[in-house]
Amino acid sequence: MKALRFHAARDLRLDDIDPPADPRPDEVIVQVSHCGICGTDIHEYLDGPVFVSTEPHPLTGASAPLVLGHEFSGRIASVGQSVSRFARGDRVAILPHLNRPGDYFVRRGMGHISDTTALVGLSSAYGGMGEYAVLPQDNVVKLPAEVSDEQGALFEPMAVAINAIDRGGVDAGSTVLVTGAGPIGVLAAMAAKAGGASRVVVSEANPARRHRLESLGLGYEIVDPTSANFGDAVLGPTEEGLGVDVAVECAGNERALADCIRLVRRGGTIVQVGIFVDPPRVNMRLLVSKAVTLTTSWGFPITIGPRVVQMIAAGQVQP
């Protein structure tokens, strides 16, 4: 089969490789329909290996060259003997975290943050940029008729965004600032609205991205963080001008994090989602004096998969 494989930085090759062999008892083979390109994939291409395994991974045994792609959907092509929840032809999306049974974090429903975890398309042999991929049945979620294959490929980043909003404690009436209008930032804004936020402000310095977001007509306030009135535009409509309840930083940018610290209200919450290339300088004095909760969000727990699919199917979020 054809597969796009990572060999080294700036060295991706469309290779002919063997398709997955017959699945193990608890595995399924997925014929890939659609696959997204994550920012992580771009980092791997430009500066990798970052997350790609260069030595055999302890869990999967996989190492470069390997097939990229962890945001994908497809149809079940075959199932292992012990698989009971899926059948050939089922449409599915992928949950990319591969966990070691019995792991400390897996037992607590937090396998996505374990250092023993492998990732489909980064530390496993088969990813979504090949024609077929083999996965444990626990790593696929069935798609109802209301969810398209294209939306299924966006299930993973949508789940990342929803988990970030969950960690920020967004609820009915919350005011939210999202910094960065890349895919995760836009989906985080969407998830904030679905979570009950009464006002969502998205800051983005790139005019092309601002124009694109405006053209979608999603009802967010879109502001330029480099403009002179940026702070007033965010703070002005908040209660007594004190700041937003929750800031979600999706740019991985030092200036954006500083904006979040400055514009969140005292006692508010900042969720760091974006990945920094270099360690940022952080105004800890301001952060502490405002009693702001600074938390982070990485991936998503496998347990929220069904909820994410239901939210997409119901139109609460529209990736």
Does position 277 have pLDDT exceeding 90, yes or no? no
Half-sphere exposure of 119 (CA within 13 A, CB side): 22
Separation between Cα atoms, residue 9 and residue 234, nearest integer Å = 40
Rounded CA gap, 52 and 65, in Å? 9
Domains of the chain: 2-153 (3.90.180.10), 160-296 (3.40.50.720)
Question: What confidence category does residue 217 fall into, taking pLDDT thresholds of 50, 70 and 90?
Answer: confident
The span from the CA of 10 to the CA of 41, in Å, is 11
Average pLDDT (26-44) is 96
Q: Please give the average per-residue pLDDT across 209-218, as a whole number.
A: 92
Whole-number Å distance between alpha carbons of 30 and 134: 6
The predicted structure's pLDDT at residue 6: 98
Q: What is the mean pLDDT of residues 138-153?
A: 98
> Could you report the per-residue pLDDT of 127-144, keeping only the tens digit for each?
999 999 999 999 999 999
For residues 112 and 137, give the distance between their C-alpha atoms in angstroms, rounded to a whole number. Answer: 16
The amino acid at 74: G
* Share of residues in the chain with pLDDT > 70 (%): 100
CA distances to 147, 160, 246 from 300, rounded to whole Å, are 20, 5, 19
In the block, residue with structure tokens 């994550």 = 38
- Report the amino acid identity of residue 34: H
In this prediction, residues 268-272 reach a mean pLDDT of 99
In this prediction, residue 262 carries a pLDDT of 98
Give the pair of three-digit tokens for residue 23: 């699945």
Average pLDDT for the chain: 97
pLDDT tens, position by position, 179-205: 999 999 999 999 999 999 999 999 999
